Amino acid sequence: MKEATPAVSLPHKIVVLLKGYPRLSETFIAQELRGLERAGLELVLVSLRRPTDKKRHPVHDEIKAPVFYLPEYLHEEPLRVLRGLFKSLRAPGFGAAFRQFLKDLPRDFSRNRFRRFGQAAVLVGEFPEAGGWLHAHFIHTPASVANYAARMLALPFSVSAHAKDIWTSKDWELADKLTIADWAVTCTKSGHAHLQTLAGPHRDRVHLSYHGLDLDRFPPLETGEHAPPAGCDCAHPAEAAASGNARPLRDGADPQDPVTIISVGRAVPKKGYDVLLKALARLPADLHWRFVHAGDGGERAKLQKLADELGIAQRITWLGAVDQKDVLAAYRRSDIFALACRITPDGDRDGLPNVLVEAASQQLACVATDISGIPELFENEENGLLVPSEDVDAFSRALERAIRDPALRHRLGAAAEAKVRRSFDHHTSIAQLKALFEAGARR
């Protein structure tokens, strides 16, 4: 990205369009919103869906921006939709937006297409006072609403693209949005290259910007700070301190002191938790380990059944939805982080899962698959262990190595933490975004 020109204050509020807010699984978005506020930008949040999570992260309570919710389903608030359509008819760019809708409709004749146009009309009819810029998080449905609304209002529009939204969307739709967007950012090299190709002559509008991590919320793990696993009073912090390692030197040999493997993520197919469970089941019988999963998701019951069938259910703790403070505590009680990401048949995949950056910040040795943006953080054998996706045996062998060799874990974890603190500080991404917004304001 080019060097930022001198900062200017924005004369308007940035209206940020989100698919759902707040969401426990989208900490990286909340972190970004708070970072932009701290950088002096004034935001208004507009969500297509109301929250379904029962918990919130502390950062959600720190965000000062007001939040407004559009009708999730048009038939639930028909009068509001009609008012929005009536007001949007007088918008300067309604004709351009409607022509785009008619162009999109034959290519995607669905209820969702009508819903996005209706939501855009409601947004235009109730547009926040002094709002002068639309920014969408995710280039699929939120960007569709933002695209129509920006055309109606003749306002600039930008988008943050992430993972699923890139790889499960039709190329024609992505290309159309990139044509009108003032700029776009995405968080992996593979996503960046794909969007640049689709943007064609507008490829210079697409920028690579890693989310990074708010390292103030993930301070370094100090020697002797590590807590034993839940239900275990047998850790050896003195031994670890003597070696310079912040974690006990467990090697899976002591049944009273098992190695703790943790994973954080939604129980959905792209996370590959079925592969991870099968890999755990194939570990040698002489190894003593326990597995902790934090996160919710539609496949958790199915995974719990699989664990029972594999005979490992008694070694697993399912924490469910957990806020960021408890996630940090869980990282510090663990020895290894594992995530077996995959690309699903419909193209869905992760970008660079933020939980891997979080785990690395706590000097956890990470075992993961070599897809998407994961190799942009980890180099195999240098600061993590990477294996091919879907390879249960390879994942099991990597876990076994990490369990048996605490010195390897320490070396990998220390190198991973150093890279995170050197290259994945979220202040860098906030500065990049602020520069893009300011450049847009000058234009």
Q: Residue 269 and residue 275: Cα distance in Å, rounded?
A: 10
Percent of the chain with pLDDT over 90: 85
**Does the residue 137 lie in any domain?**
yes
Nearest CA to 149 out of 173, 179, 116, 175 is that of: 116
One domain for residues 183 and 328:
no
- What's the pLDDT score for residue 54? 82
**Does the residue 30 lie in any domain?**
yes
Residues 6+ apart with CB under 8 A from 40: 9, 434
Residue 373 pLDDT exceeds 80: yes
**Does the residue 202 lie in any domain?**
yes
**Does the residue 222 lie in any domain?**
no
Nearest CA to 165 out of 154, 174, 157 is that of: 174
Give tens-digit pLDDT for 163-189: 899 999 999 999 999 999 999 999 999
**Domain holding 353: CATH number?**
3.40.50.2000
One domain for residues 247 and 185:
no
Give tens-digit pLDDT for 217-262: 999 987 545 544 443 444 444 445 444 567 899 999 999 999 999 9
Give tens-digit pLDDT for 272-305: 999 999 999 999 999 999 999 999 999 999 999 9
One domain for residues 339 and 396:
yes
One domain for residues 172 and 282:
no
One domain for residues 175 and 279:
no
Q: Mutual orientation of helices 94-104 and 141-153 as an angle, nearest 10°?
A: 150
Q: With bands split at pLDDT 50, 70 and 90, how would you rate the model's confidence at 53?
A: confident
- What's the pLDDT score for residue 225? 52
One domain for residues 308 and 334:
yes
One domain for residues 398 and 433:
no
One domain for residues 267 and 205:
no
Nearest CA to 428 out of 13, 68, 32 is that of: 32
Domain holding 159, by residue range, is: 13-212+425-442
**Does the residue 327 lie in any domain?**
yes
pTM: 0.86
One domain for residues 196 and 71:
yes
One domain for residues 195 and 306:
no
**Does the residue 4 lie in any domain?**
no
**Does the residue 221 lie in any domain?**
no
One domain for residues 201 and 256:
no
Percent of the chain with pLDDT over 70: 92
Q: How many structural domains does the chain have?
A: 2
One domain for residues 259 and 208:
no
Q: What angle do CA 360, 364, 366 make, to 5 degrees?
A: 75
**Does the residue 218 lie in any domain?**
no
